[in-house]
A and B are shown apart, each in its own frame.
Chain A
Amino acid sequence: MKSPDTLRPGERAFALLLVCFAGYAFWESYAISGFKGLTTGGVMPMLASGVMVATGLVILGGSLRKAAPLQSGLQGIVAYLFPLRVVLFTLLLTVYVAAIPSAGFLLSSGVLLFVAVWWLWRKGPLWALLISFVSIGVIHVLFRVVFQVVLPMGSWWR
């Protein structure tokens, strides 16, 4: 796969972010055991994060040589990286993960499926309800009964 000749929106900022993250990772790796020896626990993390710093700089350098994207600026980044659908879906997932410990896996998953299918499929709430009910039923039988996975019950039901 060849890298495109023009930058993607926000690519330069992302490359810079990667370099900063790699630098931080190197610092954390150094904090494990410093330069005390060549077989300490911190050597491999330092080598790996060192590679990240070096390759991150190469990626950043490459992005500086490329032409600017057609859609630049904050608006371009938002349109490319944070389309409304992705942002809302990620928020939905965050709520879903937060709800599992209290509402339990089956109820949280059922609600997630209902809301997501209703919103993404646009065939009405009845279809979404039917699909989420059937899916949750299948998941319960398959995972609880066949694979014998103990699914999180949730504190509300104890």
Chain B
Amino acid sequence: MIEALSFFATSWFDPYLLILTALGTFAGVYIGAIPGLSVTMAASILISFTFKWDVNEALALIAGVYVGGVYGGARTAILLNIPGAPSAIATAIDGYPLAQKGLAGEAIGLSTVMSVMGGLIGVLALELAAPLIAEFAIKFTSRDYMLLGIIGILLVGTLSGESFAKGAFAGALGIMIGMIGLDPMTAESRFTFGSINLMGGVPFVVAMIGFFGVAEALVQLEHVSTTPIKQKVARIIPAWRDVYRYLALGLKSSGLGTVIGALPGTGGDIAALLAYDQAKRSTKDPEVPFGEGAKEGLIAPETANNAAVGGAFVPMLTLGIPGDAVTAIIIGALYIHGLKPGPLLLTDTPHLFWFIVGNLTLANLFLLVFGLTGIRIFTKVVECPRAILIPMIVVLSAVGAYAIQNNPVHITWALAFGVIGYFLKRYGFQVGPIILGVILGPMIDANYRRAMIGAQENVGKFLYDLASHPISLVLTCALVFMLVTQLPFIKGIKR
């Protein structure tokens, strides 16, 4: 217990880690707030620079950016009616009308306090649930990991995209990209076309930078001339009677946000929308109707999206399945540092788990400080035109892609992935499943082959193994259920 506490407090008493966490949270608030910049984009670029650092330092910075970024989107949603991040879409519905009534400061203050509360509850859930899940997950075999990987990709594809087919296509494309290079088991060339550059495979960070950074920059070109409407900001510190009054709603939304965040494929955006919907249904007599500046409509999504951060770490650390796009990138960061997220992470490297828990707690406390201060400078910074941001994103993406292996070819690849990502996004494909496919593809491949070798290359025995072991059976049923519910006639019945 004392040992766990000392790991928990690592970043609290190390001045360098403390500064990195503060810096990450501060930067995250601005990254999340500036329309056109996203936490996913920032995290993918940051990994390419921090992979030579100590793992704690890299995680301190990225976790800070994550926590700050999820919150930051709310500020522009309230002030400009432009959600800085998808998780702040619901916040704008009531946040902006509050700002129009001259209550922007109060709305920001309240959303900050509630976001911190949600964030801390999410971290508490991570601390309590992760060890229990990990203890159970130690019993997982190769075929279970294969099934988990497939379920993770399909969940992201199903929940975040326009259609299941598009999500599955994107996930399979990601697996294909992840297969490029020499087969680690037989050294056979896969999709290398005789190119030496392709033999080492495609670093997933390069794919991430291309699909999230460059593609988003190209999509954003459409909105390059959008000018935001400015709001006046008065008092920021919220009235404590308001905090007390909405405490029950905050707790309820935090619980919902944590659970939604913990489901692979969902994230702060879905958590926020569901919490908003739930608040709207359960609030009988709001002071102001929803959509016209109801404080309940501001608090519920803001608490839920920050609670989802802690929730998203649960499947990532215990099963190696990311809860959302950012945790998919953090998985990448752990792999780069030679760590393998999964049930053994908690037993082999408990210091890392407790460090993450402590660091997320610290980042939430920094969020309270940064959220309630510096609003005047903030309003100036978020007005930075997209015309400057877009070329900057491209330059940062280029240096990020290059820095991974000091290879200029990777800049070309990132650009190519960016163009492909642009076309896919224009036709309603999500790029999240592609990245997840690139990261999880090799894991699925290796575990499938191990499981098949275990079944002596006998399809009948392989299928029997899937159906005769309890964990495999549950996962197989979950996978089959996911596939069956996507069939057109089942969807018709559901409607």
Contact = CB atoms under 8 A, between A and B. Distances in A.
A97 B412 contact: yes
Contacts of A120: 221, 224, 386-387, 390-391
A121 B183 contact: no
Contacts of A81: 423, 426
B388 A8 contact: no
Chain A interface residue bracket vs B: 35 or more
A121 B388 contact: yes
A21 B145 CA distance: 29
Contact of A1 (B162, B386, B406, B444): B162
B128 interface: no
Nearest to A25: B176
Given A93-B394, A93-B415, A37 B457 contact: yes
Interface string B23-60: 00000000000000000000000000110100000000
Interface string B391-406: 1101110110011001
Interface in A82-110: 83, 85-86, 89-90, 93-94, 96-97, 100-101, 105, 109
Contacts of B12: none
Nearest to A151: B399
B175 A48 contact: yes
Given A38-B457, A94-B415, A135 B392 contact: yes
Contacts of A85: 221-222, 224
B191 interface: yes
A88 to B, nearest CB: 9
Nearest to B459: A38
A1 B387 CA distance: 28
A149 interface: yes
A116 interface: yes
A55 B165 contact: yes
Contact of A97 (B163, B391, B415): B415
B172 A55 contact: yes
Interface in A68-87: 80-81, 83, 85-86
A103 to B, nearest CB: 12
Contacts of B402: 105, 149, 151-152
B403 A149 contact: yes
A83 B396 CA distance: 24
Given A1-B428, A83-B222, A151-B402, A45 B191 contact: yes
A143 B415 contact: no
Contacts of B423: 14, 81
Contacts of A80: 426
B233 interface: no
Interface string A130-158: 01000100010001000111111000000
Contacts of A39: 449, 452-453, 457
Interface in B223-280: 224
A16 interface: no
Nearest to B418: A93
Contact of B166 (A55, A112, A135, A139): A55
A148 B51 CA distance: 12
User: Which of A43, A97, A135 gathers most chain B CB within 10 Å?
Assistant: A97
A51 interface: yes
A40 B186 contact: yes
A129 interface: no
Contacts of A25: 176
14 contacts: A11-B427, A29-B176, A39-B453, A48-B173, A51-B168, A59-B166, A83-B221, A86-B222, A93-B394, A94-B415, A105-B399, A113-B391, A120-B390, A139-B395
Q: Closest 5 interchain pairs by CB? A: A41-B183, A120-B387, A116-B391, A121-B387, A51-B172
Interface of B: 49-50, 52, 160-163, 165-166, 168-169, 171-173, 175-176, 179, 183, 185-186, 188-191, 214, 218, 221-222, 224, 385-388, 390-392, 394-396, 398-399, 402-403, 406, 408, 411-412, 415, 419, 422-423, 426-428, 437, 441, 444-445, 448-449, 452-453, 457, 459
Given A48-B172, A149-B399, 10 more contacts: A14-B427, A22-B169, A37-B457, A44-B445, A48-B176, A49-B172, A94-B415, A112-B391, A149-B403, A152-B402
Interface of A: 1-4, 8, 11, 14, 18, 22, 25, 28-29, 32-33, 37-45, 48-49, 51-52, 55-56, 58-59, 62, 80-81, 83, 85-86, 89-90, 93-94, 96-97, 100-101, 105, 109, 112-113, 116-117, 120-122, 131, 135, 139, 143, 147-152
